[in-house]
Structure 1
Amino acid sequence: MKDRLTREQWDLVVAGIEPTEMDLAIAPVLQDWYPVNRKGVTQLFGKVHGHPKHGTGHLLTGEVLRTAEDGTWMRTRSLFYRLGRRYVHRTVQEIAEEVLGPGPTIKVSDLPPPAVPPRDYFPELGPDGGLPPVEDDDTSPRP
């Protein structure tokens, strides 16, 4: 009987493999990704395109075993991934300026409170908001 590699030994073997051009050509692409530390293991979360099992959508990868020095790819136990843009948190103001162009800077604290009239959800209750009369079919004497 042959000795089998442990999971850790296999990870070391896999992490040492350089991707070929074909490996990277067929590798799924991970966009808007960011690292996640889960149970002491680094994984990447992002939007994947072309995953062999999951197709396109949001995905948490397996453990990251190796990344390219130039940041263009990474390796898990089962797959190479091509890395697209990394997720960068942006404020609503930054997104609006990107889409609409720069505009006047307005602080939320400078805005007046919204002029929203109070809504009367139950107009049948009358202007004082009191409860409607209760019809009581029970004519038995009260204690």
Structure 2
Amino acid sequence: MRSVSTARPAYGARPAVPPPSGTGPGRPDAETLRTALRKYALLPEAKRPDVPLESKKALRWLEGASLDLADLNETKTVRLALDALALRLDGKAASANTIRRKRAVLHAVLEYAVELEELPADPVHKVKWKPPKTTETVDPRVVVNPPARPKHC
């Protein structure tokens, strides 16, 4: 079974998009924004279907409420983006592995911006932020019981 990130490339890129903080007039609900990003904005143009009016409005609003890429040169903005990676969509804390994966995606996006000369350097390196440590726990359901193990192992 493939993970959601590999099954749909847009899911992998979605964590790299910090949530807009705008609450101005015309702000679509969160589900409409996520759908517009997932089904249209984050897909390659060649694979992008026709965008319905509701999603066009949501994407237009998102463009106006989003930060400029140059704002990521400020450490406080980078810290806000990193802190947002530590949360799930429901606002609860994400697992350490999820945070690590999301941070890797953010780093890749920012490195690409550096490659395109949109940013002078990866701004994540300016912030002293450590993701939570992962706990290496073993699922007892997958451990073979030594007496039940076949002799040839």
Q: TM-score range with shorter-chain normalisation?
A: under 0.3
TM value normalised by structure 1: 0.22
Structure with higher helix content: 2
If asked which structure has higher relative contact order (CA below 8 Å, sep 6+), I would say: 2
> Which protein has the larger Cα radius of gyration, Structure 1 or Structure 2?
1
Structure with higher strand content: 1
TM value normalised by structure 2: 0.21
